[in-house]
Structure 1
Amino acid sequence: MDDALREAGERRIDWATRAMPVLTAIGARFAADRPLEGLRIAACLHVTAETAVLMGALRAGGAQIALAASNPLSTQDDVAEALGDYGIAVHARAGVDRETYYRHIHRALDIAPQIVLDDGCDLVNILHTERTELLDGVAGGCEETTTGIIRLRQMAAEKALRFPMVAVNDTRTKRMFDNRYGTGQSTLDGIMRATNTLLAGKTVVVAGFGYCGRGVAERARGLGARVVITEIDPVKALDASLQGYEVRPMAGAASLGDVFVTVTGNRDVIRGEHLAAMKDGAILANAGHFDVEIDVRALDELAQAVHRGVRPNTDEYVLADGRRLLLLAEGRLVNLTAAEGHPAAVMDMSFSAQALAVAWLAREHPRPEPGVYDVPEEVDVEVARLKLAATGIEVDELTGEQERYLHSWRAGS
């Protein structure tokens, strides 16, 4: 054990805990009630200080936990070291290769989990393809990301999903706090740390206008950038237009952008033909979960030279005509690779919903049928209520007359 690294991780976790009062309160409740007593949980999440607070809450509830990383570049090694003191088996290290990344997930699954926590669906995918002997023992799980939910819904549609999964990503609190405000701030934080660029006056092209893309667009506009949106969904494109953003296809935006941010959950959003049209010095960043949104292979083929690490987390690709394109974080999640991910106050909401969803799965009998389920509404409301209480905000309550009015169809004008 590296004592200095462990102590640094403990300090980082302590700092995050201060900004996570909701999850701390849930952890205290779990410690008293022990709703997860003896439950084996395998988790594939970003190994950060905020995740450590979640692991502590689940451990306080009585769970036995094995944790692997959901991204090979996002692991905070000091946190991974410190998590051993929580009694949690951690299989993660920053910067591992693809083979080691998947080996770590397999080691987390060796716990023979009853509940799984996933961030991108890699762990669930391996369970269904390579570790099928463990499927019958899994009662259910939670998925944290849009990308993961897309994969899970496809599995469910094909009748391939073998146990229930709760779509934590789709709660109202998660979409508002995490996807919009968290992704918006942390993505631009990563871009600015990696490049030290001034966004005011720049043209920022945001691919995707879901909750995450909306957050990126709002934060970029707030910093003085001209924002162009690309979309495939007519309703979202119309929404962006009515909010005052310029909307173009990527083919039309490619020559305009100074900074490009992909946040779609799909692959090849920026392709070779787009890269070929970009201006000298264009910055390419991905805020989607997997490193497939920017076609890095096409970028390699276009480049005559590649200068690695011209700044931390920034690689310069020199094209045949001398133009330079700057790829951040190898095309992986820029907010967790070049920065520290969402602020702890954001993850307080997301991980609180996750913790309560785990408790719901643990006590739900009979076991739900395989499929993708929304987080129970009472869980979402409870998270919001606890957050308001922690920040000293009070809200109105319905009077008896108002309750009766809302539940009656007989009252007219």
Structure 2
Amino acid sequence: MNSIIDDPSLASAGASRMHWFRERMPIVAELNHWFQEEQVLQGKTIAISMHIEPKTGFWIEGLLAGGAAHIYLVGCLGTTKKDTAAYLASLPNVTVLAKEADQYDDHKRYLKMVMANQIDLFLDNGASLILAHHELQPGWNPIGANEETRTGKLLIKKKGVQPEYPVIVIDDSPLKQIFENALGVGQSVVDGFMRTTSLLVGGKKVLVVGYGYCGSGVAKKFRGLGATTLVYDVNPIQLLNAKTDGHLIGELHDLIPEADVIVTVTGTFNVITEQHIPLFKEKAILANSGHYGFEINVGELKKASKSVEVVKEGIERITYAEKSIYLLHQANPLNLAGADGNPIEIMDMGFGLISHAAYRILTNVESLQPGLQPVPEDINHTISKRFVDLLQ
């Protein structure tokens, strides 16, 4: 199977950009060396669904060094860095299926192509591989899988999928929740907003829809830069948490008319739809930080409009009879579509969790149960101790 990417000639540029990241990811560097010595992936075929950017690239280098026979890499929607995709596609035994402007139908097609091969290990993000395997029923099961996100876990449960193989949910790790989600996503989403819009954050009213770990981090960072932060969540406990954290809370239909900026961070779909158009403030800015852009029903918003115009890279003006609003990066995850994703140190830890969990699946699957389960506690402790050492 040949790779499907934007521009193979960008491979050298992608390779050059890797140097900065390799030097700043010591946990992944150690694990890559460990995998090479142990050859734990010897002969294994791995399918990965992940945001394709340099931090991911360095981690994948370690999987190859660990003896992987072949890696099929499917990108996530709207977050593929073309030079990284080209670099990875240039490596032996790697097939990359990802273009920058891929739509959901492209993503589904790539997954079908991957499922035509027998895979030993799924390293998943948004449950793309797990759900495709369930839907297509290829006649084989992987040894096990990781799932990176809350969105993926929710989708697996919503669709009633009960995998017959172990699925370690990385998002259930307190390390993922506290550090990657609250700390990392908070910083990277604000970074993506500032790079995309070049606007001052201070003084704006920012509505964060969803106050889980990611949403709380996003709201905290916007507030720290001087924004007035509004929060909505369907869970009253989360709303109470937001209130005691110092944010303004209320019903969604009351908060939307106040907001200069709206950011969805829920892990679910159709949070912002056509019904909210009358509520938007003139020149309101809409963005998404959830794994899928479907949290904002972009199709409905555009269908109801008079016109849609690209006014700047990553910014569309959607005009209605009575107002215009702005959509950032077609509602793809703002921190990656508009910037370089989570901080390097945070993803060093995050990929460390994924590698350790993959090692457990391949070397001691008997210790795991079929179906969804949290990261084993000893792995959390190992990564925590190493992360503390690096921060000293």
Query: Which bracket does the TM-score occupy, shorter chain normalised?
Result: over 0.9
Partner residue, 2:144? 140
Tell me how far 1:196 sits from its aligned partner.
1.4
User: How is 1:13-92 mapped onto 2 (pairs within 5 angstroms)?
Assistant: 13-83=18-88, 84-85=90-91, 87-92=93-98
> What is the distance in 2 between the residues matched to 1:30 and 1:258?
48
CA distance in 2, matches of 1:29, 1:66: 19
Q: Is the 8 A contact 1:128 1:135 kept in 2?
A: no
Q: CA deviation at 1:7?
A: 1.6
Whether contact under 8 Å (1:250, 1:270) holds in the other structure is no
Structure 1 residue 88 displacement after superposition: 2.1
Deviations 1:308-334 (CA, angstroms, capped at 9, x unpaired): x2011111011101x110011112211
Retained in 2: the 8 A contact 1:57–1:355? Answer: no
The CA deviation at 1:299 is: 1.2
SS at 1:135's partner residue?
Answer: coil
Over residues 199-243 of structure 1, what are the superposed CA-to-partner deviations in whole Å (9 max), with x where a residue is unaligned?
100000000110000110010001100000001111111111111
Aligned: 1:364 with 2:364 = yes
How many equivalent residue pairs?
386
Aligned with residue 301 of structure 2, among 299, 302, 307: 299
Q: Secondary structure at the residue paired with 2:306?
A: strand
Structure 1: distance between partners of 2:300 and 2:74: 27
- State the alpha-carbon separation in 1 of the partners of residues 70 and 283 from structure 2: 45
Corresponding residue of 2:234: 232
Q: Tell me whether 139-148 or 87-96 shows the greater mean CA deviation.
A: 87-96
Could you tell me the TM-score, scaled by structure 1's length?
Answer: 0.89
Q: Which of 217, 220, 225 matches 1:218?
A: 220
For residue 86 of structure 1, report the CA deviation from its aligned partner: 5.6
Distance 1:193 1:159, change over 3 A: closer
Which residue of structure 1 lines up, in the alignment, with residue 313 of structure 2?
A: 312
Contact 1:66-1:111 at 8 Å conserved across structures: no
Alignment of 1:2-13 (within 5 A): 5-13=10-18
1:113 has 2:119 as partner: yes
Q: What letter is aligned with 1:139?
A: I
Amino acid at match of 1:312: E
- How far has the Cα of 1:65 moved from its partner? 3.6
Structure 1: stretches of 5+ with no match in the other structure: 394-413
Tell me how far apart the structure 2 counterparts of residues 38 and 71 of structure 1 sit (CA, whole Å): 26
The runs of 4+ residues in structure 1 deviating greater than 4 Å are: 1-4
Contact 2:80 2:98 in 1 (8 A): yes
Q: Secondary structure at the match of 2:47?
A: strand
For 1:241 and 1:367, how far apart are their aligned partners in 2?
42
Deviation at 1:97?
A: 3.6
Question: What does 1:305-384 align with in structure 2 at a 5 Å threshold?
Answer: 305-307=307-309, 309-321=310-322, 323-366=323-366, 368-384=368-384
> Equivalents in 2 of 1:92, 1:368: separation in Å?
32
Distance (Å, rounded) in 1 between the aligned partners of 2:380 and 2:72: 25
- Give the C-alpha shift of residue 6 in structure 1: 1.4
For the pair shown, the structure with the greater C-alpha radius of gyration is 1
- 2:84 partner amino acid: V
CA distance in 2, matches of 1:127, 1:223: 43
Displacement of 1:159 in angstroms is 5.8
CA apart distance, 1:286? 0.5
Amino acid at match of 2:348: D
| Matching residue's letter, 2:201 | L
CA offset at residue 244 of structure 1? Answer: 1.1
Gaps spanning 5+ residues in structure 2: where?
none
Aligned pairs (5 A) from 1:383-394: 383-391=383-391, 393=392
1:17 Cα deviation after fit: 1.5
Once the two structures are superposed, residues 235-255 of structure 1 have per-residue CA deviations (whole angstroms, 9 ceiling, x without a partner) of 111111111111111101011
Q: What is the Cα-based RMSD across aligned positions, in Å?
A: 1.8
Report the alpha carbon displacement of residue 69 of structure 1 after superposing the two structures with TM.
3.0
What is the DSSP-based 3-state SS (H/G/I as helix, E as strand, rest coil) of the residue aligned with 1:27?
helix
Q: Shift of residue 281 of structure 1?
A: 0.8
Question: Which residue of 223, 239, 246 corresponds with 1:244?
Answer: 246
Q: Does the aligned pair in 2 maintain the 1:254–1:275 contact within 8 Å?
A: no
The amino acid across from 2:104 in the alignment is R
CA–CA distance in structure 2, aligned partners of residues 6 and 301 of structure 1? 38
Q: Is residue 21–residue 55 contact of structure 2 (8 Å, CA) maintained in 1?
A: yes
**Contact 1:117–1:143 (8 Å) recurs in 2:** yes
What SS class does the counterpart of residue 341 from structure 1 fall into?
coil
